[in-house]
Amino acid sequence: MSATLSPTLFSKERALSLIESIIAQSQSDGVFASLQAGESALSRFSENQIGQNLVKNRFKLKITSYFGKRTASSSTTESDPEALRETLRRSEELARFAPEDPEWMPLLSPQTYDERVPAFDEGTANLSPQERGELVNRVCTLARNAKMEGSGSLSTEVQISAIGNSTGLRASDRVTEADFSFTARGDRGSSWGSETSFAIADIPLAATAKTTLELAKQAQNPQDIAPGIYPVIFTPSAFANLLAWTIWNMDARAADEGRSFMSRTDETGQPIGNRIGETLFSPLVQVRRDPAHPLLQSSTFFGGGLPKTALEIIRQGIPQTLAYSRYWGQEKNRSPTGRLFPFVMEGSDRTLEDLIGATERGLLINRVWYIGYVNPPTLEMTGMTRDGTFWIENGKISHPVKNLRFNQSFPDMLRDIDDLTSVRRCGESVVPGVRVKAFNFSSITDSI
């Protein structure tokens, strides 16, 4: 057994070399190997002081062996030659006795990937625990000076991915990511802000903390509000969470089999296809998969080997495609797409303040959480607001209100969007803030 090597030393060349060695030793009809090595570093803080500072190295190699239409996989977190050899033999032994897969697909042939280099920032990869701690301490000082309780995390990650199979497919990428999450809490109210980038230097920690602290001051002593249907303005980070659920549910097989809001049915309720090409949403809704976007610059391939290329998903409110797996694409004579992530939605040159100023009465929602299904086939969802919910009156924030639970059809939400802000990166997506003409809230919650 051997310790995992740091990904800053684990080169793409060495990752592919391990893949090559697995393929060379294979005794099966075909073999696919995928490797992920990573180093994640995290500083957590609460009550305005650091409570945890850690670094975690990861290594995982997964091997899938093929005998005809029989396949099986085995994985290991050890990188020494003997462990890799044992993992390969185990996958072969299991594959020999596995039942034939009725949805079996042959190994993917060599693919053509975008000729670009994903974002890898040396400053993020080599940020020391002391440097990370100093950054967090500055945020904690801002919270103390504002007489608020600050909590959250600052994390960095380096990841190397490599794949290969016995038909000649090869790919390898390395990326970095930095993420900052900050909650400011007073006695009777809270706020939250977050930022994600491939470079730690691009995250405006102080500015994000100051904005969050100011919003937390405004969030104190929330007032009652009756559940009902209201115009709502969502910040980009709140809306990103909602839009992600919609994009995730744009699966071609689920639609064609009648299990999705994208399903078309006949008068008896039987599925007769999908709703690609129908006007379902506001014309302001324009979404594409765009891994090369300047704010993302993510990997060039998916874990299974398909290229991660630009793809139009929704144009002026009309779905242009769904997510097709290799098997379902073959069944429907469509090219496989891979997942529809990372996605980018077009915005405008307007600010959140512009949207508030143009709203006579409504709600401003800073964050949503605990989102879950009410009715998956219609994509009616439930969830709650959190960390800053405000009443807007005559184009201004009037006062904070208590948090609300919503029961809302997400396709209807996208249909009712009537204004957008400029975009920003939120996690693995790039989205604007939005105004929705009508959003349904079912009850008050007791959370602050």
Place of tokens 């029961």: 407
CATH 3.30.2290.10 in the chain: give the residue spans: 12-203
pLDDT band at 215 (very low <50, low <70, confident <90, very high): very high
Q: What is the pLDDT at residue 447?
A: 74
Q: Would you list the DSSP string of 254-317?
A: HHHTT-STTEEE-TTS-EEEE-TTS--S-TT--EEE-TT-TTT---SB-TTS-B---EEEEETT
Select from 3.40.50.970, 3.20.20.300, 3.30.2290.10, 3.30.200.20 the CATH code of 12-203.
3.30.2290.10
Contact 382, 392 (CB under 8 A): no
163 pLDDT higher than 80 = yes
Confidence of residue 448 (pLDDT cuts 50, 70, 90): low
| Residue 227, SS3 per DSSP | coil
Amino acid at 273: G
pLDDT tens digits for 277-321? 999 999 999 999 999 999 999 999 999 999 999 999 999 999 999
Which structure tokens are listed for 222? Answer: 């929330």
Environment class of 1 (CB within 10 Å of its CB; exposed 0-12, middle 13-18, buried 19+) = exposed
Name the token pair of 90. 């185990």
Rg (CA), the chain: 24
Q: What tens digit of pLDDT does each residue of 122-146 get? A: 999 999 999 999 999 999 999 999 9
| Confidence class for position 359, pLDDT limits 50, 70, 90 | very high
Local structure of 429: helix, strand or coil: strand
What confidence tens digit (pLDDT) does each residue in 40-70 have? 999 999 999 999 999 999 999 999 999 999 9
What single-letter DSSP state applies at residue 199? S
- Contacts of residues 261-264 at CB distance under 8 Å and 24 or more positions apart, as own/partner, are 261/377, 261/378, 261/379, 261/410, 261/411, 262/319, 262/322, 263/377
Q: Does 258 score more than 50 pLDDT?
A: yes
Share of the chain above pLDDT 90, in %: 96
For the cut 70, the answer to whether the pLDDT of residue 4 exceeds it is: no
- Listed residue (417, 371, 365) closest to 389, CA to CA: 365
Q: Is the separation of the CB atoms in 88 and 82 below 8 Å? A: no
Cα–Cα separations (whole angstroms), residue 429 to 60, 172, 359, 421:
26, 22, 26, 15
| pLDDT for 5 beyond 80 | no
**Dist CA 345 CA 444 (whole Å):** 31
353: tokens are 């303040």
Return phi, psi of residue 175, to 5°: -140, 160
Buried (b) or exposed (e) across 62-93, using 16+ Cβ within 10 A? bbbbbbeebbbbbebebbeeeebeebbbbbbe
Look up tokens 């296809």; give the residue. Answer: 273
- Global pTM reads 0.95
Distance in angstroms (rounded) separating the CA atoms of residues 30 and 107 = 7
